[in-house]
Amino acid sequence: MAKNLIIGRHYQTGDALQIEWDNGVISKVETLEIIPDGALTIAPTLTDVQNNGFAGYDFQRDDITKEELLAVRKALHQHGCSRILLTLITDQWDKLCHRIQYLNEMIKASPELSETFIGWHIEGPFMSPEPGFHGAHPPEFMVPPTPDKVATLRKLTGNAPLLLTMAPEWENISEGIRTARDLGAFVWLGHTDASSEQIEKAVIAGANGFTHLGNGCTNALDRADNIIYRIIDNPKINTCLICDGIHVSPLLFRIMHRAIDEERITYTTDCMSAAGSPPGQFKVGPHIVKVGEDGIVRQPGKPNFAGSSLTPLEGVFRAARMLDTTPEKVWHRFSDRFTDHLDLPPLWEAGNPADFCLLTGSDSARQVDIYIRGKKLAEHTFRP
């Protein structure tokens, strides 16, 4: 197959960028000393670090098949996302471990699945069982992050990137966090009402982020001192925000961007199986959830949201809209910033798949063309 190349404006620096590829694999990435054509931006495909299911498929389902995961991969590609941390939520401990083992064997045996499902986000069971803070997670299955349990999760996930969400209220939390860090896993805090002192202790032990800041907490927060303020106030904690404009209101989203250092912010969908599907009734593990025309995911009869139906690419445009800026300006928070926060490998390197997005059009309508392995797979149009 002939050598292919694309030249455009680097989505972040604005410099002329050239990507070359052979047979769908990047052979060279370089910055050129020319003035780039201003009409074409090249951006990396997106990375979603909290993804519970997609395109109708729920990762908590114990009979999910390889073919279904391949269908998820295809649907993610169509929405501009080439890598996710497969996210599993709280369940009875043995069931959770069995689920990880089942999925891991399937993923490891398939180069295609390994390319998309690059690692794990185990959200629970090391979180708060308190009302309002456990969210959609069953509180009866919450357990403390003992070194034994943390080591079991590491063993089940092999050497793949592993992110654990924990609440610092647990006794001996420092030991659990240190064990995770020693074994190469990352710890983010979340579903917690920890005090500033407990948060600081967790940071000293090695926690470096917060899972979906603004969610996983009660609706009735103390206006003078609450978990959102405590995290914003700690400059050593990175934050990940669900950028659908629903989980974090546009007002709070903007306030957070003013109050938190730019380098500390990333985005996720926290999506469940409804993402990339029409509205309706879906299953997330044992829970039945409903997705309305408004795209909001609810557990019937409960006030909390239960994941989102946001797609990654839509997330970039919603974030840009809420901040009244361009998608180029926010794109890194949904892509290569995870190289810094979670030590994920960079996307644009020789030997990697030639996956990228091309942005064209005016401020009134932006077109995004998605290229996977050097071939155009999908196109989307976004209006402000």
Contact residues for Zn ion, defined by CB under 5 A: 216
Return the amino acid letter for 248: V
> Which residue, 36 or 216, has its beta carbon nearer to Zn ion?
216
Q: Select from 372, 382, 376, 370 the least CA-distant residue to 327.
A: 382
> Which residue, 80 or 315, has its beta carbon nearer to Zn ion?
315
The label of the residue with tokens 């420092």 reads 174
DSSP state of 35: P
Q: How far is the CB of 172 from Zn ion (least distance, A)?
A: 23
Q: How far is the CB of 270 from Zn ion (least distance, A)?
A: 6
> Which residue, 45 or 309, has its beta carbon nearer to Zn ion?
309
When CB distances to Zn ion are compared, the closest residue is: 216
DSSP state of 311: -
Give the Cα separation of 313 and 295 in Å (integer).
15
> Which residue, 214 or 216, has its beta carbon nearer to Zn ion?
216
Element (H, E) at 341: helix 337-342
Q: How far is the CB of 87 from Zn ion (least distance, A)?
A: 9
> Which residue, 268 or 335, has its beta carbon nearer to Zn ion?
268
Beta-strand ranges (E) seen in the chain are: 4-10, 16-22, 25-32, 41-44, 46-51, 53-54, 57-58, 81-89, 117-123, 162-166, 186-189, 209-210, 238-242, 265-268, 280-284, 287-291, 297-298, 356-362, 365-372, 375-382
> Which residue, 214 or 374, has its beta carbon nearer to Zn ion?
214
Using alpha carbons only, what angle is made at residue 141 by residues 58 and 178, rounded to the nearest 5 degrees?
95
Q: How far is the CB of 240 from Zn ion (least distance, A)?
A: 10
With beta carbons less than 8 A apart as the criterion, state whether 383 and 365 touch: yes
Q: How far is the CB of 215 from Zn ion (least distance, A)?
A: 6
> Which residue, 11 or 188, has its beta carbon nearer to Zn ion?
188
Q: How far is the CB of 320 from Zn ion (least distance, A)?
A: 24
Q: How far is the CB of 26 from Zn ion (least distance, A)?
A: 34
Identify any residues that bridge with 58 across adjacent strands, giving them in sequence order: 53
Dihedral pair phi/psi, residue 195, rounded to 5°: -75, 165
